[in-house]
Structure 1
Amino acid sequence: MSEINKADIVILIGDMNAQVGYHNKGFEATTGRHGLGMLTENGEMFTELCTNFNLVIGETLFNHKRVHKITWTSPDRMTETLIDHIAISRKWRGSLMDTRNKRGADIASDHHLLITPARLKVAAVSDSKKKIQKIFDVKKLKDESICAREIKNQLNFTKTRSAIGTTAHLQQNRQADKKKALERIIWSDNLARKAQEAAETYRTRDLYQMKRELTNATLKTTKPLKDEDGKLTTAKDKQTTIWERYYKKLLSSTSSEAIQRCGSQRHIPRRDNHTSCPNDAEIITAIRALRNNKTSGSDNINSELLKANPVSSTQIYLGVRKDKGRTERRCYYSSSKEGKFIGM
């Protein structure tokens, strides 16, 4: 292990037959506080090995149940301990996400499978070629003629570059305008073809709609309105003022016109109210139209009970009505379409 490059990631895995225990006093950089058992001689030697080569024992860093730490069970099932280890370089300690055993894995051994998921962050490889820094001749700055010539060249270069950029921008705008014009021509040709088909099939509604889209014409919905003097006006603000005055006058409490209009309306009684007592057929129809699983009324009679035998229910209702009709001849009943039996 002494010949391994220090920049490499070192991972030491195997059956070390060593118990490192849970006391890490003096070895805080090598072991954690979540080991198992007591420190043995082999465990001490393994801990010193990891300390010398800057390794960290992974299973002592994570807190798990005892059953998830055991890696070896004796044949008599009496001894259970942690003797298999996974160690990693101390520099890459943060790459370990967890370390525990998998007791369900069948590996045909008295050892349990020990796993540890790791997440490595590898740095991007930089270009090995070093950028050569340009060396400037500072002595030329002392010569005024050279400075003036360099500044003039730089200004000319800037103007040329801006002119090239403006020309490219104008060229892009021209291409975009040409593309829009071509799309407009294709759209109008397709719409004209559809209009021709609508005219041939006598679809005048579609024809006029396509015509309005082609000509971009809108219908004028503004109509003239008479003011109080009888003059016609089409201005929106004047029409709004005319309507406001009209409704204020119409809705005022002293308006004779509103009173006259309200008084001219006479009450028309409704003729769809059934006030007469229903006959046998109507009662049977209403009982059959009742819905199931509904709450009963004050008489605690469910609709299912009435629908079990509509004829008997009708006879019972007629008998009760005949007895009660001697004192009160009026009954109330809703339309048979709604299927609601109200009572007497």
Structure 2
Amino acid sequence: MNIIQCYAPTNDYNEDAKDQFYNRLQSIIEKYPTKDLTILMGDFNAKVGTDNTGYEDIMGRHGLGERNENGERFANLCAFNKLVIGGTIFPHKCIHKTTWTSPDHTTQNQIDHICINKTFRRTIEDVRTKRGADIASDHHLLVAKMKLKLKKHWTMGRTISQKFNTVFLQDTNKLNKFKIVLSNEFQAFHDLLNGEGTTMESNWKEIKEAITSTCHEVLGHKKHHHKEWITVDTLDKIQERRNKKAAINTSRTRAEKAKAQAEYTVVNKQVKKSIRTDKRKYVEDLATTAEKAASEGNMRQLYDITKKLSANRRKPERPVKSKEGEVIINIEEQQYRWVEHFKELLNRPAPLNPPNIEAAPTNLPINVGPPTIEEISMAIRQIKNLDFEDDLALLSQTQQQMQEKTNSVAAASAAVGLNIHKGKSKVLRYNTACTDPITIDGEDLEDVKTFTYLDSIIDEQGGSDADVKARIGKTRAAYLQLRNIWNSKQLSTNTKIRWPDTISNNVLWERTNQIPAEEEVRKKRWKWIGHTLRKAPNCVTRQALTWNPQSQRKRGRPKNTLRREMEIDMKKMNKNWMELEKEAQDRVGWRMLVGVGK
């Protein structure tokens, strides 16, 4: 278990101080293996808020307040390292979410957090503040309740595999020695092979024994788990630092301890510098290989390196083995082994007390003859009607209309044996003061401020801000995973921004003799306006076209309307309503005007 306790700069600090803090914190988090349980906690001075759009994997919707700039930084850090923010997951009263109260008791914020890596998310059972704790601070005590669940450790029937220090092969001397010893082993095996007839299994055992004995003699077993990018020179320096640390502990006098401490400090700086150099070289080598793969068109290798740099690991494939533990290389034997495995797994003995379940009838009246033309036509019609989501959105102007539509859909669904899930059915109200509930079978449906339909977020404001914000959040999370790639100078800009070649919309419009959708809408709009202007002056549609309501507009920026679009086009055409009414009487002239007026 790794616990990181920290204090972050406040929201008013300059950007350099914040960048320095989060860069240092990121370097500390990267030191711990992702398989370990890591807890990040402290005063981050970050408000993450209740909106988890784009951060669904690392936070819930039970935060407090609105997200600030520090909250954006903190959320990005957690998203990049897959750390779940515990205080946003569990529903509590606001007083149990508040971690800081201002001295005048007017401002309450949630700026202290406890995070845990996503792998161990289920170990946290609750996170809340304890307001009664007397800690002489304007912060409340934040407590997380955890229940660690460990996997059962099997000690029987399993052998512990020991790995060899293959990283030593990067050293030239070790590599040459390894080649010589392995060559001698294979020479002896070759002489044995010429002496008598052998089988494939015995050959494999001899080859395995030759390689294993060579690795054991030259490389030795790996005692610690090291990153693949750490070089032998760095490992030697780490061992030297370990020796210096032992010298500090065994020093008897202050002078000896001070001298040993000074030597340890020097070696420690060398180790850190060497580690940074190794990691930088490792990333640069991968980036160089990726650049070469991109230039050669080897997309598979390019994507594999990209996944490696973005830390998206895939579980390695394992060979199929027989019951005796021997590797099966024949495909038919592998398939037979899988059949044998699932037969043993699924064909269990019947229970002693079988359940009293009536057997289903077997003589069902099913027509197994060739389909008729009517059946084929019906099947095609059903296939054509499958291109819609399984959820429906009902739109109504009044609460009564919405209730009637809801009842109609519920009745139609029940007629074909379908039941509407009341817990997943939501109601969104826009620009209405009516709060009467919408019900299904007497049960009220939940009112929400936002909901997702066809992967787009719709909110009570009627705009696209929430949906754009969600897409930015998802893009940010994907972008942060490839941070090592964006920062690499070994990859050219063309490789980083390359996208599959596409044909621009302008070229498509030109090839298909089409016009942009905006221009098509404008032409149809003015075609309708000309039709309306040719109507009688007392016609309601013509009066509504130029009618200006005498009332006060709502506060805020006015939304775009059809009237505003028409006025913009009229300015471009340098026309007013009186001139347009005269020209609309000539249909041919009006078509020409609509075609050139932009």
TM-score band, normalised by shorter chain: 0.3 to 0.5
Question: TM-score, normalised on structure 1?
Answer: 0.38
Question: TM-score, normalised on structure 2?
Answer: 0.22
Q: Which has the larger radius of gyration?
A: 1
